[in-house]
Structure 1
Amino acid sequence: MKLTKATFLGLAKGVQTSSLPRLFQDSIRVTRELGIRYLWIDSLCIFQDRDDLSDWRHESLRMETVYSIQLVLQHLSGKRGRSNGVTFQHPDAREKAREMAKPYMFYDQYFWDKEVSKAPVNIRAWAVQERLLSPRVLHFGKHQLAWECFDKDAAEIYPAGLPQYLAKLPDARFKCLDPKVFHELKARVGITDAGETPTAYLLWSRLVDVYSKCDLTFPKDKLIACAGLAKRMAPILQDEYIAGMWRRYLEGELLWIVPGTQLPGRASRPKEYRAPNWSWASVDGLIRAGAPTVENAVIKVEDYHLTHPGDDKMSDGDVRADWDC
């Protein structure tokens, strides 16, 4: 069931919840239990006609605003479990030492990685900005409910937040990559930029690395599916966005690479044009963003010209360019 010109009138009259797919029914139930009045499901809220993408184009331009005010429900499936860390009391032959011995807690260091970071929905490119830009995300993992917000990561077995050991692992605190959160945290703790490159540009490089390894059903969405992140970053950088990169350090950002290019299937070019071949957005597959610096650069971009099919320079999926060095 999906919204199309043909199904619009029937859907507008209302449908029985029981006639919806099980996933939608579960989503509705959870939304009601949380006391939230409205539920957004793309396939029922955006016209899905492949011969007319006008509604989809209109809604895709608003994603940064939409995600910024909502709670996202991710991946409603799987069986719930309560597997926790294991407490171990160190055995000691001496009675006094045994009394003084402290318990040791063993944790699964891959817990968050398996339940959240590598859950099927979170390896999809569109989900990156949904997960980052939404103030609150409730993950229905394979075995656990997990929670992400600006303050902490938590789960059913860790309701007060992940233990310190797990919270420090690379796959935790994903929402700190949100440009707005990063900028506010930086100001709150008094971090100042050292050296030539502001840390916000380094953050964008990190976002590109994370985003590029995710999958897209429609490769032409490459720039569109990260437009919300670019719009969130633009007022922080006060810079011009150029096909996935920024003008200030464009010479350095052009030096992106495809790691492991000797391995087959690691990266490829799409059959249909969507971005200049000097942009990382022209490649499908994992890339490493170029360093945002112009130090020791042997070229200087003097001028460039971009041609966009629409009015939104960040959300257009077909960007054509020429330039002078």
Structure 2
Amino acid sequence: MDSCATCRNLEPLPGLSGGFITGGTGYDLQNSAPTCELCSILWEGLGAFCLDSPGTVQWMALLQAEDSFRLNYKYKESPVEKEWIGLHFYTKDSRDPLSNIFLPSNDLEPDTSSEKYISQMKDWVNACDNGHDTCKRNLSNNYLPTRVLDVSREPYQIFLHEPGKSDRGPYIALSHCWGGVVPIMTRTETLGKFKKGIPIESFPKTFQDAIFITRQLQCRYLWIDSLCIVQDSAEDWRDEASRMANVYGNAYITILATASLDSRGGLFHQHDPLDAKHVIKRTTEKGEAIIVEVRPALEHEPYFASSPYGLESSVQAPLLERSWCYQEYLLAPRVLSFTQWEMLWLCLTKRLCNCGEYNESTREIVASSDIKARFDEQLRGTSSPDKLYRLWQDIVEPYLQKGLTYDGDRLPALAGIAHLFSERGLGRYVNGLWEPTLVPDLFWSINSAFGDYHGIVAKRSTDQAIPSWSWAAVSGSFYYPPFTRVFKGIEVLDISYEPMISNPLAEICAKAITIRGNLVQVLAWGGEENAAHHRRRCRVPGMREAKEHYWHVDVAPEVSCSADNPMDAYIFGGRAGPALVLHRVEGTASTYRRLGTIEEWSKPDESYPQTIRLV
């Protein structure tokens, strides 16, 4: 094959190229296609899916030793300039002349409820049941939640069932987006009625599909939150919310309705067959048939990380944006995720998918790079407190990027996970922080670079009961300080714990802390020109040639003023290093609320340790 300057014969670059081969514009491929077979294949595949001026797009070819070939493209004038759209080029047979470039892979089914996909799903579960020793050791049929749905008693009636002491599992749990009001919920007045039977047609599509999957996997019981928790009983909701670690942690399988916006969306999705595959046919000089197929390139890592970032904007995955569902995903030992194009299987041993990019021969999970694998390994096995603390931080950071219908759920929606960490020795839980590491925990900071890139807007909770020093008081893109930072000169003297708290993991258990460190009054300003940005300035008043310092406000609109009309603020920290930026509560002498953080701060010689109260 002659060398082609446009596609470089799709030969990977040596060294750490990240799989990049080459790139250009669509017109480059079009012009090269008459004389280069590989360019003609790429051009035809691009034209089959990029229907709007394919010649004008930018593209790049990617190929790594263990991965499939893909062509990414984006429009030069796209309003979302950072977004690339991926196409997967593949063959169906290793005997194809181009199978060394376009590795064999599976077709996508236009209907994700196809017999092929359902059969694959059953094979995954059977293989795990019978061949994964780690998974078998962590499965238990001895637990049933307070209520479950019996889906096997009659074909067209579902029964709300309260298990007796002798009843055993297994059961399947559903994780789904409510998307507002769920059409059917258990209330005090319907509890008795639902025990006598619910017509299956009364259930919304997502619930009906979950019943179908439960039956396909030959399980008798299904757990759905809106039906297995009495929704108008605060006491029942509080009791059941405290059991989430057990409900999802003991489920035979947890079903994720990943691509459904609400309970009416269903688990399965249908597509136009032309959107699922395009077939390219060529013939070699020897007369051998070349068949290359093209389909949308599917991302998998964002699903495994339970994060919407990394998915194309056209991909529907609302479940990845919800706080409650993040906890449910991490707690579940085995997961079936129903995405827009395929099902994904995650257990303690394997990651699998219908498209075949993850299969039984795919290398084992690398726990250090996978948040769920780390969670499963460290929470179900043995781990040092330092590793657990770092894992907790890495769980909280993406958690704060996710949405809640009610701000007051910020702590309850993570309480099941907090319970497991508490049992493993992280100490007493203090509104999302931990008492033994409370000083470094106070220095969580805005991650403005990540937030700006992804359009994440930091907001203050509407729940006024949450103290400003807890990350539960905000939502957005935040991060913890590096684990190696040392905070000298700061001491927590007292934590004002609230009496009569029934569930300190899910409720505000402390309203204030008394803390001692260096406090310096400053003048702060910024945000008057662009209130969305988080960077602000400050300086110590009354000092000759006072140096200006940059700091970051937690919630941008809370500080918006000019240098000519600055606001009073206070820097609180140790002898050096990160510090908190505070605002004194009006009418008090030493009570402060948090405004933000300053990354590096050295106390002025004139400052001295003071004791303050943080609320």
TM-score (norm 2): 0.44
C-alpha distance 162-173 of structure 1, shift in aligned 2 (>3 A)? farther
Say which SS state the counterpart of residue 39 (structure 1) adopts.
Answer: strand
1:64 aligns with 2:234: no
Q: Is the 8 A contact 1:155 1:162 kept in 2?
A: no
Structure-2 separation of matches of 1:27 and 1:318: 37
1:156 aligns with 2:351: no
Q: Is the 8 A contact 1:149 1:175 kept in 2?
A: no
Structure-2 separation of matches of 1:161 and 1:205: 32
Tell me how far 1:259 sits from its aligned partner.
2.1
More strand by share: 2
Q: CA RMSD, aligned part only?
A: 3.7
AA in 2 matched with 1:181: E
Residue number in structure 2 paired with 1:176: 373
Structure-2 separation of matches of 1:162 and 1:141: 22
Q: Is the 8 A contact 1:308 1:319 kept in 2?
A: no
Residue number in structure 1 paired with 2:569: none
Q: 2:321 aligns with which of 123, 145, 155?
A: 123
Q: 2:391 aligns with which of 159, 181, 203?
A: 203
C-alpha distance 128-319 of structure 1, shift in aligned 2 (>3 A)? farther
Mapping of 1:211-290 within 5 angstroms?
A: 211-260=399-448, 266-290=457-481
Q: Deviations over 1:82-125 (max 9, x none)?
A: 979x9xxxx9x9x9xxxxxxxxxx99473442696432112210
Say which SS state the counterpart of residue 198 (structure 1) adopts.
Answer: helix
Structure-2 separation of matches of 1:308 and 1:35: 47
Structure-2 separation of matches of 1:324 and 1:296: 13
Q: Is the 8 A contact 1:267 1:286 kept in 2?
A: yes
Tell me how far 1:209 sits from its aligned partner.
0.5
Residue number in structure 1 paired with 2:256: 74
Tell me how far 1:42 sits from its aligned partner.
1.0
Structure-2 separation of matches of 1:107 and 1:164: 23
Q: Is the 8 A contact 2:431 2:509 kept in 1?
A: no
AA in 2 matched with 1:130: E
Structure-2 separation of matches of 1:32 and 1:60: 26
1:304 aligns with 2:495: yes
Structure-2 separation of matches of 1:202 and 1:114: 22
C-alpha distance 278-237 of structure 1, shift in aligned 2 (>3 A)? same
Structure-2 separation of matches of 1:169 and 1:237: 21
Tell me how far 1:182 sits from its aligned partner.
2.3
Identity of aligned residues (%): 29
Tell me how far 1:204 sits from its aligned partner.
0.9
Structure-2 separation of matches of 1:316 and 1:57: 10
Q: Deviations over 1:157-212 (max 9, x none)?
A: 236358459x6799x7342242x52256666xxxxx7xxx8222111110111211
Say which SS state the counterpart of residue 445 (structure 2) adopts.
Answer: coil
More RCO (CA 8 Å, sep 6+): 1
TM-score (norm 1): 0.79
Q: Which segment is superposed worse, 134-143 or 295-304?
A: 295-304
Tell me how far 1:285 sits from its aligned partner.
2.0
C-alpha distance 324-113 of structure 1, shift in aligned 2 (>3 A)? closer
Say which SS state the counterpart of residue 154 (structure 1) adopts.
Answer: strand
Tell me how far 1:25 sits from its aligned partner.
1.0
Residue number in structure 1 paired with 2:194: 11
Residue number in structure 1 paired with 2:340: 142
Q: Is the 8 A contact 1:219 1:284 kept in 2?
A: no
AA in 2 matched with 1:249: T
AA in 2 matched with 1:47: V
What runs of 5+ residues in structure 1 fail to find an aligned partner? Answer: 96-105, 188-192
Structure-2 separation of matches of 1:200 and 1:184: 12
AA in 2 matched with 1:36: C
More helix by share: 1
Q: Is the 8 A contact 2:501 2:509 kept in 1?
A: no
Residue number in structure 2 paired with 1:102: none
Mapping of 1:16-95 within 5 angstroms?
A: 16-49=199-232, 52-70=233-251, 71-75=253-257, 76-79=267-270
Structure-1 separation of matches of 2:423 and 2:363: 33
Say which SS state the counterpart of residue 359 (structure 2) adopts.
Answer: coil
AA in 1 matched with 2:249: S
Say which SS state the counterpart of residue 251 (structure 1) adopts.
Answer: helix
C-alpha distance 251-287 of structure 1, shift in aligned 2 (>3 A)? same
AA in 2 matched with 1:40: W
Structure-1 separation of matches of 2:438 and 2:484: 8
AA in 2 matched with 1:56: W
AA in 2 matched with 1:141: T
Tell me how far 1:255 sits from its aligned partner.
0.6
Q: Deviations over 1:107-157 (max 9, x none)?
A: 947344269643211221001111111110100110011011111211112
Q: Deviations over 1:203-227 (max 9, x none)?
A: 1110111211111111100011101
Say which SS state the counterpart of residue 216 (structure 1) adopts.
Answer: coil
Structure-1 separation of matches of 2:237 and 2:406: 13
Q: Is the 8 A contact 2:495 2:513 kept in 1?
A: yes
Q: Which segment is superposed worse, 128-137 or 9-18?
A: 9-18
Say which SS state the counterpart of residue 478 (structure 2) adopts.
Answer: coil
Q: Is the 8 A contact 2:389 2:426 kept in 1?
A: no
